[in-house]
């Protein structure tokens, strides 16, 4: 999504949301878009929730080990404070942020900033996850990605939890989750 100047020469802000299940390539797509922004020499700031330390304390890292430098933050308000003169803001794992993340993204877009956000749209129970529904409602552009079902090979949009833990937030990768299609997710075997 390209930000065109309007008639007054100001940038038009926007919110792009990349969503889907675990292992669908959300972070990989976020990194791809942010690298293109850097190639265009646009000022970019990248953030992730401080609790996400699965692969790296600071970098955003996809499951296939693609990485980009980011700033871990404790809450969404810190993003507003640290946005500086960025033209583009990248945010990973949006489902882990507090209730203000959608408003923060809205504020940034009203400032003329292109905001690119990635996150799980559903939790392991198949319910909307965190603030993702609010982000999707405010988004100018939505990209829904799908993984491949580990059971049957069809398109997957569910994150099946393989371990017995009922907390909504359980950080993990292939050790704890696998992508499944609707039918295989329902079978729970």
pLDDT in tens, 73-125: 999 999 999 998 999 999 999 999 999 999 999 999 999 999 999 999 999 99
> How many Å apart are CA 76 and CA 4, to the nearest integer?
26
Instruction: Give, as one character, the DSSP assignment of residue 116.
Output: E
Looking at 50-59, 65-74, 85-94, 163-172, which range is the least confident one? 163-172
CATH fold label, 14-146: Rossmann fold (3.40.50)
| Span 12-44, pLDDT tens digits | 899 999 999 999 999 999 999 999 999 999 999
| pLDDT over 80 (residue 59) | no
Q: Strands, DSSP E only, in 21-149?
A: 44-49, 60-61, 67-68, 71-73, 88-91, 114-120, 141-145, 147-148
Catalytic positions: 93
pLDDT, residue 3, reads: 45
- pLDDT for 2 equals 45
Residue 66: the pLDDT is 78
Q: Is the pLDDT of residue 53 over 80?
A: no
Q: pLDDT for 111-151, tens place per residue? A: 999 999 999 999 999 999 999 999 999 999 999 999 999 99
């Amino acid at each position: 999504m390209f930000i065109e100047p309007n008639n007054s020469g100001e940038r038009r802000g926007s919110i792009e949301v990349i969503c889907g299940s675990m292992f669908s390539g959300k972070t990989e797509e976020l990194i791809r878009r942010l690298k293109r922004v850097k190639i265009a020499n646009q000022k970019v700031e990248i953030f992730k929730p401080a609790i996400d330390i699965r692969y790296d304390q600071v970098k955003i890292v996809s499951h296939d080990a693609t990485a980009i430098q980011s700033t871990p933050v404790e809450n969404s308000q810190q993003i507003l404070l640290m946005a500086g003169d960025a033209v583009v803001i990248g945010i990973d794992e949006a489902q882990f942020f507090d209730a203000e993340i959608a408003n923060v993204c809205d504020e940034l877009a009203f400032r003329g900033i292109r905001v690119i956000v990635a996150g799980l749209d559903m939790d392991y129970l198949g319910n909307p996850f965190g603030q993702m529904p609010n982000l999707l409602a405010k988004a100018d552009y939505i990209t829904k990605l799908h993984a491949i079902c580990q059971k049957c090979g069809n398109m997957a949009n569910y994150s099946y939890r393989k371990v017995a833990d009922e907390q909504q937030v359980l950080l993990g990768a292939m050790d704890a989750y696998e992508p499944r299609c609707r039918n295989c997710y329902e079978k729970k075997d």
